[in-house]
Amino acid sequence: MRIKTIIIILITVLFTVVLMQNTGRVTFSFLWADFSISKLTMLLIVAVVAFIIGVLVGRPNKVKRLGGDPIDENPDHTNPNTLSDEDREYIN
Protein backbone atom coordinates (compact mmCIF):
# COMPACT_ATOMS: atom_id res chain seq x y z
CA MET A 1 0.00 0.00 0.00
CA ARG A 2 1.07 3.54 -0.58
CA ILE A 3 1.85 5.83 2.34
CA LYS A 4 -1.04 8.14 1.42
CA THR A 5 -3.51 5.24 1.68
CA ILE A 6 -2.12 4.19 5.05
CA ILE A 7 -2.39 7.75 6.40
CA ILE A 8 -5.99 8.07 5.17
CA ILE A 9 -6.95 4.77 6.82
CA LEU A 10 -5.23 5.80 10.07
CA ILE A 11 -6.99 9.18 10.15
CA THR A 12 -10.34 7.52 9.40
CA VAL A 13 -9.89 5.01 12.24
CA LEU A 14 -8.87 7.75 14.70
CA PHE A 15 -11.82 9.89 13.62
CA THR A 16 -14.19 6.95 14.14
CA VAL A 17 -12.80 6.31 17.63
CA VAL A 18 -13.26 9.98 18.57
CA LEU A 19 -16.82 9.95 17.27
CA MET A 20 -17.76 6.80 19.17
CA GLN A 21 -16.35 8.13 22.45
CA ASN A 22 -18.36 11.37 22.24
CA THR A 23 -21.98 10.28 22.20
CA GLY A 24 -23.20 12.39 25.14
CA ARG A 25 -25.50 15.39 24.77
CA VAL A 26 -24.22 18.96 24.72
CA THR A 27 -25.93 22.34 24.59
CA PHE A 28 -24.96 24.28 21.49
CA SER A 29 -25.67 28.01 21.28
CA PHE A 30 -26.02 29.65 17.89
CA LEU A 31 -26.85 33.35 17.88
CA TRP A 32 -30.03 33.61 20.00
CA ALA A 33 -31.04 29.92 19.94
CA ASP A 34 -29.86 27.03 22.14
CA PHE A 35 -29.82 23.48 20.81
CA SER A 36 -29.38 20.24 22.72
CA ILE A 37 -27.57 17.92 20.33
CA SER A 38 -25.31 14.89 20.71
CA LYS A 39 -21.58 15.42 20.36
CA LEU A 40 -21.51 12.72 17.71
CA THR A 41 -23.93 14.63 15.48
CA MET A 42 -22.10 17.90 16.03
CA LEU A 43 -18.72 16.38 15.20
CA LEU A 44 -20.16 14.79 12.06
CA ILE A 45 -21.64 18.12 10.93
CA VAL A 46 -18.34 19.91 11.50
CA ALA A 47 -16.40 17.16 9.68
CA VAL A 48 -18.71 17.26 6.64
CA VAL A 49 -18.57 21.06 6.43
CA ALA A 50 -14.76 21.00 6.77
CA PHE A 51 -14.51 18.36 4.03
CA ILE A 52 -16.68 20.39 1.65
CA ILE A 53 -14.65 23.55 2.31
CA GLY A 54 -11.42 21.59 1.78
CA VAL A 55 -12.63 20.25 -1.56
CA LEU A 56 -13.72 23.70 -2.73
CA VAL A 57 -10.47 25.36 -1.68
CA GLY A 58 -8.20 22.55 -2.88
CA ARG A 59 -9.43 22.06 -6.41
CA PRO A 60 -7.41 23.70 -9.18
CA ASN A 61 -8.64 26.88 -10.78
CA LYS A 62 -9.78 26.89 -14.38
CA VAL A 63 -7.63 28.95 -16.70
CA LYS A 64 -9.53 31.95 -18.01
CA ARG A 65 -8.58 33.28 -21.40
CA LEU A 66 -9.25 36.79 -22.58
CA GLY A 67 -10.29 36.35 -26.17
CA GLY A 68 -10.17 33.44 -28.53
CA ASP A 69 -7.64 30.75 -29.14
CA PRO A 70 -4.05 31.83 -29.76
CA ILE A 71 -3.24 32.28 -33.44
CA ASP A 72 -0.32 30.28 -34.75
CA GLU A 73 1.75 32.60 -36.93
CA ASN A 74 3.35 29.67 -38.71
CA PRO A 75 0.64 26.99 -39.09
CA ASP A 76 2.63 24.71 -41.42
CA HIS A 77 5.78 24.87 -39.22
CA THR A 78 8.12 25.12 -42.19
CA ASN A 79 10.49 27.62 -40.55
CA PRO A 80 11.87 26.07 -37.33
CA ASN A 81 13.96 29.19 -36.62
CA THR A 82 11.96 31.32 -34.19
CA LEU A 83 14.72 33.64 -33.03
CA SER A 84 14.40 37.32 -33.72
CA ASP A 85 17.21 39.29 -35.36
CA GLU A 86 18.10 40.83 -31.97
CA ASP A 87 18.40 37.38 -30.39
CA ARG A 88 20.62 36.09 -33.21
CA GLU A 89 22.80 39.20 -32.89
CA TYR A 90 23.11 38.71 -29.12
CA ILE A 91 24.08 35.03 -29.48
CA ASN A 92 26.75 35.75 -32.10
Please give the average per-residue pLDDT across 55-71, as a whole number. 69
Give this prediction's pTM.
Answer: 0.45
User: Cβ-count burial of 28 within 10 angstroms (0-12 exposed, 13-18 middle, 19+ buried)?
Assistant: middle
What pLDDT band is residue 75 in, cutting at 50, 70 and 90?
A: low
Res 87: pLDDT: 82
Q: What is the DSSP string of the chain?
A: --HHHHHHHHHHHHHHHHHHH--SEEEEEETTEEEEEEHHHHHHHHHHHHHHHHHHHHSPPPPP-SSSPPPPS-TT--------HHHHHHH-
Question: pLDDT by residue (tens digit) across 6-39?
Answer: 998 998 899 888 877 877 888 888 888 888 888 8
